[in-house]
């Protein structure tokens, strides 16, 4: 399956998930047991949290919020390195296409894309929209500046 065909469904999936609110993953305390998915042989969850990523790359969102149509895109390696980040200024109906365009360079290396939509006060004074893409491999190049 080519990357073009693989991502054909992405705009529809993003739109379907955009209305769903996902809980913001909390950091596990040191020494905590591994999540059930990791114990079952699935790839372990990234140690990076949405809050930590926003603190590093977009602290203005934590302080002042963001427009309802904006989306922060984060492409994260299995080791928790942010390989790409972008603040997408979208219009209604274009979010999925813009996310897909940003993910195309990673081809079939994208293992999973989660849309995280927080409530006001969870990560900022407004709703915060994050498209969190997990890579299926650990890249050899350094993380995004």
Distance CA 143, CA 33 (A): 28
Distance CA 99, CA 14 (A): 9
Q: What percent of the chain has pLDDT over 90?
A: 59
Report which of residues 22 and 100 the model is more confident about: 100
Residue for token pair 């219009």:
91
DSSP character at residue 109: G
Confidence of residue 142 (pLDDT cuts 50, 70, 90): confident
pLDDT score for 45? 52
Per-residue CA distances from 132 to 46, 53, 71 (Å): 11, 10, 10
DSSP character at residue 7: T
- Are the CB atoms for 133 and 110 separated by under 8 Å? yes
Residue for token pair 């919020």:
65
DSSP 78-99: TTS-EEEEEEEE--TTTHHHHH
Per residue in 53-74, pLDDT (tens digit) is 999 999 999 999 999 999 999 9
pLDDT score for 21? 42
Backbone dihedral region for residue 41 (phi beyond 0: left; psi -120 to 50: alpha; all else: beta) = left
Please name which of 5, 4, 33, 10 lies closest in space to residue 94, comparing C-alpha atoms: 10
Specify the range with the lowest mean pLDDT, choosing from 11-25, 37-51, 59-73: 11-25
Q: pTM for the whole thing? A: 0.69
Question: How is the chain split into domains, by residue range?
Answer: 3-22+49-135
């Amino acid at each position: 399956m080519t990357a073009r065909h693989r991502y054909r469904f992405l705009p529809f999936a993003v739109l379907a998930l955009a209305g769903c609110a996902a809980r913001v993953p909390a950091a596990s305390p040191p020494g905590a047991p591994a999540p059930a998915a990791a114990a079952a042989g699935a790839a372990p969850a990234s140690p990076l949290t949405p809050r930590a990523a926003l603190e590093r790359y977009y602290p203005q969102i934590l302080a002042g919020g963001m427009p309802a149509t904006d989306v922060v895109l984060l492409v994260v390696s299995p080791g928790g390195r942010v390989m790409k980040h972008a603040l997408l200024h979208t219009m209604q109906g274009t979010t999925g296409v813009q996310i897909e365009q940003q993910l195309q360079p990673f081809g079939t290396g994208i293992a999973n894309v989660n849309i995280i939509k927080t409530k006001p006060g969870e990560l900022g004074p407004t709703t915060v929209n994050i498209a969190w893409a997990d890579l299926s491999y650990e890249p050899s190049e350094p993380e995004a500046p």
